[in-house]
Structure 1
Amino acid sequence: MATALEVTAAQRAGRDLVAPELFDRLVDFCAEEYGLELSVAKRVMDQGLAFLDVMGSTGVGLSPSKQVDPAWHTFMLHSEEYTRWCMERYGRYIHHAPKSRYRDKATMVNVVGKIREAGYEVDESLWGLKADCNAPTCCGDGPCC
């Protein structure tokens, strides 16, 4: 009797969405700006890029965890590269328009699910079970900050 082989495709990595040189520059900036260890900043940028790709590809607005949000801020501050990346990949700019969304478990589970569905590896430790909103990563908007 033949058995079906379980084939798992290699998971995608957010870091592969940009050139290695740009990824390294973003990581260095993120580490310095947010006081992160370099190894943590690499994980944050990887997850942030995967998060942005899911939003850009689907057009669905999502909330990043407070641990991943610095990746978005970091990339946006590299405005030429960020704008070019958005336009080349999605034909539009992905705006960071904070709304007073809560970063509760249900929200993060939904976001992580969408990232996984897109084939990306998820670093669950950066998404948390219940991330508490805090300034400046919450951008000071809404009742959660």
Structure 2
Amino acid sequence: MRDYPYDSVMAERVLGQGYLYLLTAMAHRGEKLGLAPGKIVDIGVHTIILDTVAFFDLCDRFNGGQYLHHVPKVDFKNDGSVMRTAHLIPADGWEVDLSLWADAADYSPCHPGSDSH
């Protein structure tokens, strides 16, 4: 989070939602839901995956030992995927911070229809 001007409270919120996005994506592996984190939450996701040792451990513990690959998609579109993801998180028993998912209008899955972020 060092590259972003977040105070410790905002950094914790962004990282927390990044983890919840990743855990949700892992819990729904193989369902081809086209999940997406949104621009702000994606900052947390990228911060998490760049710590490769910790991310590999997360994948090992919560993704059946399979690495959750990062396959970025360059084009953004308004397809509803971010809000679908934001609503799936509490359905899985986690607390979503909807204000961090509010940029849903211009974001799409990193790689639609796959088991990657």
For the aligned pair, the TM-score class normalised by the smaller chain equals 0.7 to 0.9
Q: Identify which range, 44-53 or 106-115, moves more after superposition.
A: 106-115
User: Where does residue 58 of structure 1 map in the other structure?
Assistant: 28
How far did residue 36 of structure 1 move? 1.3
How far did residue 70 of structure 1 move? 1.1
How far did residue 75 of structure 1 move? 1.0
Unaligned residue ranges in structure 2 (runs of 5+): 111-117
User: Where does residue 97 of structure 1 map in the other structure?
Assistant: 71
> How is 1:106-121 mapped onto 2 (pairs within 5 angstroms)?
106-121=80-95
Counterpart-to-counterpart distance in 2, 1:48 and 1:97: 16
> How is 1:1-145 mapped onto 2 (pairs within 5 angstroms)?
30=1, 32-59=2-29, 60=32, 61-90=34-63, 91-100=65-74, 102=76, 104=78, 106-128=80-102, 130-132=104-106
How far did residue 51 of structure 1 move? 0.6
TM-score calculated relative to the size of structure 2: 0.77
TM-score calculated relative to the size of structure 1: 0.63
Contact kept, 8 Å, 1:51 with 1:64, in 2: the verdict is yes
SS at match of 1:33: coil
Q: CA RMSD in A?
A: 2.1
How far did residue 88 of structure 1 move? 2.2
Contact kept, 8 Å, 1:103 with 1:132, in 2: the verdict is yes
- Greater length-normalized contact order (CA 8 Å, ≥ 6 residues apart): 2
Q: Residues 55 and 101 from structure 1, CA distance in 2 versus in 1: closer, same or farther, beyond 3 angstroms?
A: farther
Matched residues, number: 104
Q: Residues 81 and 130 from structure 1, CA distance in 2 versus in 1: closer, same or farther, beyond 3 angstroms?
A: closer
How far did residue 76 of structure 1 move? 1.3
Counterpart-to-counterpart distance in 2, 1:127 and 1:33: 20
User: Where does residue 113 of structure 2 map in the other structure?
Assistant: none
Unaligned residue ranges in structure 1 (runs of 5+): 1-29, 139-145
